[in-house]
Amino acid sequence: MIRQLSRPHRNRGDRIFQGWTWLMAATVLALIGLLLYELVLGALPAISRFGFGFLTGQTWNPVSGQFGALPAIYGTVVSSLLALAIAGPVGLLAAIYLAEFAPPWLDGPLSFLIELLATIPSVVFGLWGLYVLVPVLRSPIETTLHNTLGFLPLLGCTPLGLGMLAAVAILALMILPYVTAVARDMLRAVPDDQREAMLALGATRWEMAWKAVVPYARSGIVGGMMLALGRAVGETMAVTMLIGNRPEISACLFSPSYTLASQIANEFTEATTDMYVSVLIELGLILFAVTLILNGIARLLVWRVRSKS
């Protein structure tokens, strides 16, 4: 009787299942490892040629063989963070409205439309940006800003339409549905007793949402924003069409700029020498690292907020 109970291979099905899931998990890890290995291998010629100077170099001249990645790194980080700075608050407020205030007949269609926004192909956003957004940005928005507040370096250069601001605007629009949908789901998952506790203390509905519901869901909301930031960092097509594609660092919002993803996409077909190809692969490696670092910072942030409470 005791021997039967302790016989280990009675759980053979369990072990097969466990082994199978382990294998699948390991495959994912192996794929990431392989990807990283290939990137490093491809980038090795560029790395050994330019070293750390590649990360800080600002010149990009394929003809003379001078390559620096800083403008693209700068453009990637700045465009993504600015996009999140716009889409984050707007998305959160929209989510609060959907989860706490919208009547049922409005909530359904509105949620559907927002999710629909997330399924629009990037190239369509790009086209819309080129033909609708850019002309409006150039005049009146950028021209007015330049004429009234042009003494600020941020708004000091010639309004072109195409440039950092256009890329930021389109990125904000593209990540908005992610921020909104995730935040809305997180807010909905907050137990009703939290809402009632705040209402019973004499809170208005807005105070209830802001002081009880949002704090309860905050780590999930920040997580959703990080997901959106990750998407903004890697977004290629729409940004390539709108950012102006000039590898320059400028404090001015209107000036043409570049991102890692759009530089790779734009120049891959032109990369005629092995070194040029290797340089672009190294840009890919840097993009990988930027994503990881931003994610790491975000996790640290969430973790600090959690451990403080």
Partner 1 sequence: MRDANESRAIQIEELTAGFGSFTAVRQVSLRIPPNKITAIIGPSGSGKSTLVRCLNRLHEEVRGAWMQGRVRLGGHDIFATDVDPVQLRRRVGMVFQRPNPFPTMSVAENVVAGLRLNRWGRPAGLDDRIEESLRRAALWEQVKDKLHVSGASLSGGQQQRLCIARALAVEPDVLLMDEPCSALDPVATFKIEELMKELAEDITIVIVTHNMQQAARVSDYTAFLMMGEDRAGELVEFGPTDRIFTNPSDKRTEDYITGRFG
Q: Give the footprint of partner 1 on this chain (CB under 8 A).
A: 104, 191, 193-204, 207, 211-212, 215-216, 218, 309
Task: Choose between 216 and 276: whose C-beta lies nearer to partner 1.
Answer: 216
Determine contact, residues 85/94, Cβ cutoff 8 Å.
Answer: no
Provide, rounded to whole angstroms, the least separation between the CB of residue 192 and partner 1: 9
Task: Choose between 115 and 196: whose C-beta lies nearer to partner 1.
Answer: 196
User: Could you give the CA distance from residue 224 to residue 88 in angstroms, rounded to a whole number?
Assistant: 9
Distant-in-sequence, close-in-space partners of 225: CB < 8 Å, separation ≥ 6: 84, 88, 91, 179, 182, 183, 298
Provide, rounded to whole angstroms, the least separation between the CB of residue 182 and partner 1: 18
Determine contact, residues 181/114, Cβ cutoff 8 Å.
Answer: yes
User: Could you give the CA distance from residue 146 to residue 254 in angstroms, rounded to a whole number?
Assistant: 9
Provide, rounded to whole angstroms, the least separation between the CB of residue 225 and partner 1: 17
> Nearest 5°: phi and psi at 62?
-60, -30
Task: Choose between 69 and 302: whose C-beta lies nearer to partner 1.
Answer: 302
Helix axes 274-308, 12-50, angle to 10 degrees: 120
**Residue ranges of the alpha helices (H) in the chain?**
2-6, 12-50, 53-56, 70-96, 104-119, 122-128, 134-136, 143-149, 164-188, 192-200, 205-208, 214-216, 218-234, 237-242, 260-267, 274-308
Provide, rounded to whole angstroms, the least separation between the CB of residue 215 and partner 1: 4
Task: Choose between 38 and 207: whose C-beta lies nearer to partner 1.
Answer: 207
User: Could you give the CA distance from residue 133 to residue 189 in angstroms, rounded to a whole number?
Assistant: 36
Tokens encoding 248:
């320059």
Provide, rounded to whole angstroms, the least separation between the CB of residue 305 and partner 1: 9
Provide, rounded to whole angstroms, the least separation between the CB of residue 111 and partner 1: 17
Task: Choose between 13 and 104: whose C-beta lies nearer to partner 1.
Answer: 104
Task: Choose between 8 and 103: whose C-beta lies nearer to partner 1.
Answer: 103
